A = this chain, B = another copy of it.
């Protein structure tokens, strides 16, 4: 039996190569043969880790989101004020997503059109998971009196949703604009939202 650590590292190597090839050629032109060659394994071995090309790319996206969630959770557990943590989480979330696909110059549409239904479903669940991380911080702020009362889950969903139009999705990072502008716009929205959360004297 192969060590699961080794299995895991092969899996990671495949996903790393997927990222490179996706950036280089887009979804349709990226072939499993090329991918295997890039990783230095046999083609069949790719299918030991992923059941299909679509599943492979979806997993690659999942990995970006997993990493995001780890970073979000880390901030959520810091010791700063809840409002400061939320602000930081909102900004980091947008920039992480921006950076995660910055090198895909034109290929986002290609990818989206190829795997649309499953991708949209996952995207929805990613948002839900991300919102859940915000919930804990919001509840903390409510309990310590910083924030006004309210359904923490709904508030979390609103925070996420309100910054979603800044995420690369149908628009590539180029079409979205300069990274610094995205950052500034996110900060503006986050400020307004958080002012709204903070309890009035």
Residues of A within 8 A of B (CB): 109, 112-113, 120, 148, 154-155, 157-159, 161-166, 169-171, 175, 185, 188-189, 191-197, 200-201
In angstroms, Cα B185 to Cα A154, docked, is: 9
From B120, B166, B185, A175 is in contact (CB under 8 Å) with: B120
Q: List chain B residues, Cβ under 8 A from A109.
A: 113
Closest chain B CB from A74 CB (angstroms) = 25
Closest chain B CB from A114 CB (angstroms) = 12
What are some 13 contacts across the A-B interface (CB < 8 A)?
Answer: A120-B171, A157-B188, A158-B192, A159-B192, A161-B185, A162-B162, A162-B189, A165-B165, A169-B170, A191-B196, A192-B196, A192-B197, A195-B195
Q: A188-B154, A200-B200 in contact; A162/B113 too (CB < 8 A)?
A: no
Q: A192-B155, A192-B193, A197-B195 in contact; A161/B165 too (CB < 8 A)?
A: yes
Contact across chains for B166 and A161 when beta carbons are under 8 A apart? yes
Contact across chains for A193 and B162 when beta carbons are under 8 A apart? yes
Closest chain B CB from A149 CB (angstroms) = 12
In angstroms, Cα B113 to Cα A112, docked, is: 12
